[in-house]
Amino acid sequence: MPTMQNAHIDRALTNTSVAYMQDASAFIADKVFPIVPVKRQSDVFYIYNKGDFMRDEAQVRGAASESAGGDYGVEASDPYYCRKHAFHKDVTPEERANYDEPLDADTDATDFVSQKMLIRREMEWATKFFKAGVWGREISGVDASPSTNQAIKWNKETSNPIKDITEAGVQMASETGYKPNTLVLSPFAFNALKNHFDILDRIKYTQKGIVTADLLATLFEVEHVYVAWAVVNSADKNAKDNVGFIMGKHALLCYSNPRPALKKPSAGYIFAWTGLEGSGAYGNRIVRLPMDMLGLGTERIEGEIAFDAKKICGDLGTFFKDIVD
């Protein structure tokens, strides 16, 4: 086994890895839960009592009298812990020799391991947060006759997704003081919306007359609509591929803080441990390890990423469960 004493932190390849992550538009986890770089692998963050900030408590001050005063409640959360996730590809001298310019074996290996790290982070986010039972409000899709906390599925002719989403936004703002600014759609939900008769009717006089994520953002009065196009192959190696979208047939309306910080509210954050030597802004690094035991001159390109995704404010999210067939 190679040891870290023999390892070389390849900053050039780490930068390649960061650039690849930034360009991976199909992955949405870090767009919905902004990255908060942290120097410690584990620590607590604090949750403030929102009600304490929203009371009308300032009073007229009389002559020579004390001002009205108060305080706010705060409690420590469960600590975050940035677990390290890793994946490698071995590059042999034969591979390098057979690459034609401008192709590069090391860069291809970096892209390969970066993709694996992105899939891991997206899978962890989807498994934890793009599901029922997590958020402050949940609306379930039904075929007809919706009752409280239900909505007709958006692929049905009698549905009204614009009303469903904008009303959910108004309710969130009235209860939290924060208007949602982000809508996450599975590709199935996005396809239902872009073909919905009401939406098509409303945009028919626009310049393009084509439903895009940006146009939906305008209709739904949010800053961003993200479509989770990332896929995963759930089949074992050497078995028949079983490729499908990572996100299910759901949607999430939430507030994602555009200026993330430990004391600022947001639906969630991804804490990225940047304390490791050579780590990039995402808590990632590329390590080059000699692997002569596999053949003289063989090197291992190993990617590491250390992060923990945490829900911060559950009431800053409304989850639309099974909102399309």
Q: What is the dihedral of CA 317, 318, 324, 325, to 10 degrees?
A: 90
CA distance linking residue 116 with residue 133, whole number of Å: 28
**pLDDT surpasses 50 at 101:** yes
Q: Which two three-digit tokens encode residue 115?
A: 């993709």
CA distance linking residue 76 with residue 82, whole number of Å: 17
Find the length of the chain. 325
102 preceded by cis ω (within 30°)?
yes
Q: Which two three-digit tokens encode residue 267?
A: 């639906």
**pLDDT surpasses 60 at 120:** yes
Tell me the pLDDT tens digit for each residue of 184-241.
999 999 999 999 999 999 888 776 678 999 999 999 999 999 999 999 999 999 999 9
**Count of other CB atoms within 10 angstroms of residue 94:** 11
Question: Mean pLDDT over residues 124-153, rounded?
Answer: 98
* pLDDT (0 to 100) of residue 103: 67
CA distance linking residue 61 with residue 10, whole number of Å: 63
**Count of other CB atoms within 10 angstroms of residue 213:** 15
Tell me the pLDDT tens digit for each residue of 29-63.
999 999 999 999 999 877 777 777 788 888 888 88
CA distance linking residue 21 with residue 119, whole number of Å: 11
Domains and CATH numbers, the chain: 10-54+72-321 (3.90.1690.10)
